Amino acid sequence: MPASPGETMPAPPALAPASTLPHSEAMDNPIESLSFEDALKELERIVGRLESGEATLDESIQLYERGDRLRQRCAERLDAAQARIEAIRLDAEGKATATRPFAAG
């Protein structure tokens, strides 16, 4: 409701420092040290929390930023894994004769 003439509106609440925001212990783990599976699990938890609508604005921003870094980490790990995949060449009898680098497409 708007303030009446001469009446002041209360100041909006100050943003909470990131250190006081509720979060899981997983958020304390450096992203670089996470395996692909652990990073993906944490990213799924973050998406669930954001979709639930229960996070405050400050927490949502913090979660989104970490989620973006986790997404980048997962993409890097997938790219590295893809580079190591080899397709097996078969001879006329169906026996493996050699390998060749994976070609996406």
CATH number of the domain encompassing residue 35: 1.10.287
Domain assignment of residue 1, yes or no: no
CA angle (80 as vertex; 96, 98 as ends), nearest 5: 15
pLDDT 10s digits, 52-101: 999 999 999 999 999 999 999 999 999 888 777 755 566 667 676 766 66
| Structural domain for 86, as ranges | 30-101
The pLDDT value given to residue 24: 57
How many domains does the chain fold into?
1
The pLDDT value given to residue 18: 40
Pair of tokens at residue 80: 């590295």
Domain assignment of residue 67, yes or no: yes
What average pLDDT does the chain have? 77
Q: What is the DSSP letter of 95?
A: -
Domain assignment of residue 88, yes or no: yes
Query: How many percent of the chain have pLDDT more than 70?
Result: 57
Domain assignment of residue 11, yes or no: no
- Rounded Cα–Cα distance for residues 26 and 84 (Å): 29
